[in-house]
Amino acid sequence: MHRASEDHRSVAFPHLVLPLLRDTARLLGAEPDRVALFMASGTGGWEVALTNTLPPGAQVLLPCAGHFANLWGDSARRLGFAVETVPEMEWGDAPSPERIASILAADTHHRFAAILVVHNETSTGVTADLPAIRAAIDKAGHPALLMIDGVSSIGSLEYRHDDWRVDVAITGSQKGLMLPAGLAIVAFSERALAAANTVTGPRAYFDLRPMLAQNADGYFPYTPSIPMLYGLRESVGMLLDEGLDQVAQRHARLARGVRAAVAAWRLPICCRNAASTSNTVTTIMTPAGIDARKIVSHAFTKYDLSLGGGLGPLAGKAFRIGHMGWLNEGMLFGALGLTAMALTDCGVPASAADACAAAAAVWHGDAS
Ligand code: PLP
Q: Per residue in 64-92, pLDDT tens?
A: 999 999 999 999 999 999 999 999 999 99
Query: Residue 116: pLDDT above 80?
Result: yes
Measured in whole angstroms, the distance separating CA 319 from the mean position of its chain's CA atoms is: 18
d(CA 17, CA 123): 33
Please determine, for residue 368, whether its predicted confidence score (pLDDT) is greater than 80.
Answer: no
Min mean pLDDT across 107-121, 332-346, 354-368 is at: 354-368
pLDDT higher than threshold 70 for residue 367: no
CA 191 remoteness from chain centre: 22
Q: Give residue ranges with CB within 6 A of ligand 1.
A: 41-43, 68, 118, 122, 149, 151-152, 172, 181
State how far the Cα of 101 lies from the Cα of 67, in Å rounded to an integer: 23
- CB hemisphere CA count around 79 (13 angstroms): 28
Per-residue pLDDT reduced to its tens digit, 117-155: 999 999 999 999 999 999 999 999 999 999 999 999 999
Quick one: the chain helix, strand, coil %, rounded to 5?
45, 15, 40
Ligand 1 binding pocket mutation candidate from 37, 38, 39, 43 (most atoms within 8 A of CB): 43
Q: Give tens-digit pLDDT for 253-312.
A: 999 999 999 999 999 999 999 999 999 999 999 999 999 999 999 999 999 999 999 999
Atom of ligand 1 nearest to the CA of 120: 3
Confidence of residue 32 (pLDDT cuts 50, 70, 90): confident
What is the share, in percent, of the chain residues with pLDDT greater than 70? 99
Q: How far apart (Å, rounded) are the C-alpha atoms in residues 118 and 104?
A: 18
pLDDT for the residue numbered 58: 98
User: Looking at residue 366, what is its pLDDT?
Assistant: 61
